[in-house]
Amino acid sequence: MIYKEKPENFKPAFEVSGCFCEHDGKLLFLKRRPGKTYAGKWGMPGGKIEQGETPEEAMTRELFEETGIEPGRYDLGYVGCYLANQNGKDMSYHLFVARLHDFVDVSPAEGESQESCWVKIEESTGLNLVEDIPEVLKEAFPKKFS
């Protein structure tokens, strides 16, 4: 569940960064592996922010680790920080959009995701998405869902 205002007794256990990778009106989604949280659902690159990292540094690292997309191949824009509760854990979620300069054929890193796909932004909510992604999609790309 995503919150716009801080709920009473909200205590984030950790912070994460995630991003929508966009190129030519399509978004990159990664299918979660069996054994991972939300196995079999489609998500976006991202992960926990390590100690000493900024949200942007964490996003750059996670994007490279999960997709092989290198810094310099995209412009990274900050959408905002969301407060979320997933699986009973409170967290701060920093959302970015990475606008790719050119198309990248992504091969998910071993142990990360099962497969990847590029989907038109306005059709992306038809995927079996990880909890809360449809809501933040609409905030990151309001013109596509108006």
Confidence band of 20 (pLDDT split at 50, 70, 90): very high
- Residue 116, amino acid: S
pLDDT tens by residue, 32-62: 888 888 899 999 999 999 999 999 999 999 9
- The answer on pLDDT for 141 being more than 90 is yes
Q: Measuring CA to CA, which residue among 41, 39, 40, 47 is closest to residue 19?
A: 47
Are 28 and 21 in contact, with CB atoms under 8 Å apart?
yes
Confidence of residue 4 (pLDDT cuts 50, 70, 90): confident
List the one residue out of 6, 3, 19, 9 whose CA is nearest residue 94: 19
pLDDT at position 111 over 80: no
Contacts of 55 (CB under 8 A, 6+ apart): 15, 17, 49, 78, 81, 94, 96
Quote the pLDDT of residue 3.
Answer: 83
Q: Which two tokens stand for residue 57?
A: 């540094």
Q: Is 4 left (phi over 0), alpha (psi -120 to 50) or beta?
A: alpha
Phi (first) and psi of residue 67, to 5 degrees: -130, -20
Q: Is the pLDDT of residue 87 over 90?
A: no
Q: How far apart are CA 83 and CA 120, in angstroms?
A: 27
- Any bridge partners for residue 42, and if so which? 31, 129
